[in-house]
Structure formats: C-alpha cells, structure tokens
Chain A
Amino acid sequence: MKDLLRKYSGPFSGMFAHWIQRSTGLLLLFYLFLHVRTIYALSQGPAAFDRAVGQFRGPFFKLLEIALLGAVILHALNGVRITLLDLGLPHQRQRRLFWTWSIGLGALIFLAGAIPLFLSSVLRR
C-alpha cells in the first residue's frame, strides 16, 4: 500500500507527466488559434500581412517563441513516450523514460534550438 501510494502520488508520478501533456496541449491549441489569426492576414495583402507579423518581432515575443519551442518539444517527446507505452513498452520504465526521454532529451533539443534563436532573433547578432 505504501509503495502504491508512493508510486501514484506526489509530483514524480505519471500524473505529473499527464498534467504536463494536458496543459502544454491546451497552450498549443491556443497558440494555433493566434497563429491562424495572424496567417489570415495573408488574404488581406502584403502590407496587412507584414504589419501583422511585425507585431511579433520584438524581443518579448521572441522569448515567447522560445517558450513555445519548449512546450512543443515537451508535448511531442512525451506524446511519443505515451505512444511507445501504448504499443507495449514495459510500464515499469514509464517514469524513468519520462525523465530521460521527455525531460532529458527534450532539454538538449530545446537548448540546441533556443540558443541560436536567442542569439539571432532576441539579441540580433
């Protein structure tokens, strides 16, 4: 019983990964709404579109874009983890897989994308 409680409660259980998946999923859906809203300006001609994307050129939005990259990577890698578990990967490994695959590998890919993005679009060097 104690083991079970430890396994299924607290921040380090599969529940944590589940909440991450749901919250990043909703955030990405909200982003898709903003994205289509901006892209729709394409139908109003070049001036309207360049004005629409121009809103997002400041360093603040570039930082949000880097955060978006993080949310995408977390959601995608964790989604692959869920699919692999569904396909038959042993469930005893689900937690370790979360920390090594979703968080560990995710952090590496995130840094590989975030550092160049930060240098080129936030600092503009």
Chain B
Amino acid sequence: MPAFWWYLQRLTGAALALLLIVHFWVEHFVSENLRRGDLTYDAIRTRISNPLWQTIDIAFLLIALLHGLSGARNILLDYSRIGRRGARIATAGFIVVGAVWAWWGIEAFKDLR
C-alpha cells in the first residue's frame, strides 16, 4: 500500500494535536508553580508514577517520533536524488535513529515507575 505513510502522517498528526493539548494542560496549567513555568522533579514523579500517565506519555513520544521522522524523511527524499537504493538506506537510518530516540525517552522514566 504505497499511500500507507501518507495516511499515517494524517492519523498521527490528528492524534498529536489532541495529545499536545493534554500535555500542554498538565505541564503548564494545573498548579500555581506550573503556571509560573517552574516544573519540578516531584511534580513529574507524582504524575508519572501513575501507569496510565506513563503509557500516555510514552505513546505520545512514539507517535511524535513516527510523525516527525517520517516528515523529515519526506523532506530528504523530496530534495535529494538518492535513488531507490539510497531511499531504502535512508529509511533504515531513520528507523535506527527513531529506535534509539524512543529508548532514550523511555529510559528517562526508569526511576519514576
């Protein structure tokens, strides 16, 4: 299905719009400290120790990476002439970068579980 990534970009985009509103709300508006822009370790631990929030945040990261790296790949393939083989190598590169980046973000929560 050649249009798979094209559809996925719309779906992940719509999901990100909703998740971002939630993210913005919980990180900037729910307490006096947060409204001042003072995020602390304890505020995050309280939220992330809840498995539901942890799932939402990790899903948010994975969807953002899928959307962002897929978009970056589109830009690269549009403006370069690397051919089909080159495109496959680039795609593999983006997948590796995405996997490392996802692991990096998920590891951040390892002491908060």
A residues less than 8 Å from B64 (CB atoms): 32
Count residues on chain B whose CB falls below 8 Å from chain A CBs.
33
Asked if B75 contacts A57 (CB within 8 A), the reply is no
Task: Determine whether B104 belongs to the interface, using a CB cutoff of 8 Å to chain A.
Answer: yes
User: Total A-B pairs in contact (CB under 8 Å)?
Assistant: 79
Q: B25-51: which residues lie under 8 A (CB-CB) from chain A?
A: 28, 35-42, 44
Best-buried of A25, A42, A46, A62 by chain B (most CB within 10 Å): A42
B residues less than 8 Å from A9 (CB atoms): none
Asked if B101 contacts A22 (CB within 8 A), the reply is no
Asked if B71 contacts A29 (CB within 8 A), the reply is yes
**Bound CA span A72–B69, Å:** 16
Chain A nearest CB from B103 CB (Å) reads: 10
If over half of B's interface residues share one DSSP class (helix, strand or loop), that class is named, otherwise mixed; here it is: helix
Which residue of chain A has its CB nearest to the CB of B102? A36
Which bucket holds chain A's interface residue count? 20 to 34
Chain A nearest CB from B54 CB (Å) reads: 12
Asked if A46 contacts B108 (CB within 8 A), the reply is no
Task: Determine whether A76 belongs to the interface, using a CB cutoff of 8 Å to chain B.
Answer: yes
Task: Determine whether B84 belongs to the interface, using a CB cutoff of 8 Å to chain A.
Answer: no
Contact with B along A13-43 (1 / 0, CB 8 A): 0000000001001101100110010011111
Residues of A with Cβ closer than 8 Å to B?
22, 25-26, 28-29, 32-33, 36, 39-43, 45-46, 49-50, 53, 57, 62, 65, 72, 76, 79-80, 82-83, 86, 116-117, 120-121, 124
Task: Sort A-B residue pairs by CB-CB distance and give the 3 closest, nearest first.
Answer: A121-B37, A46-B41, A29-B68
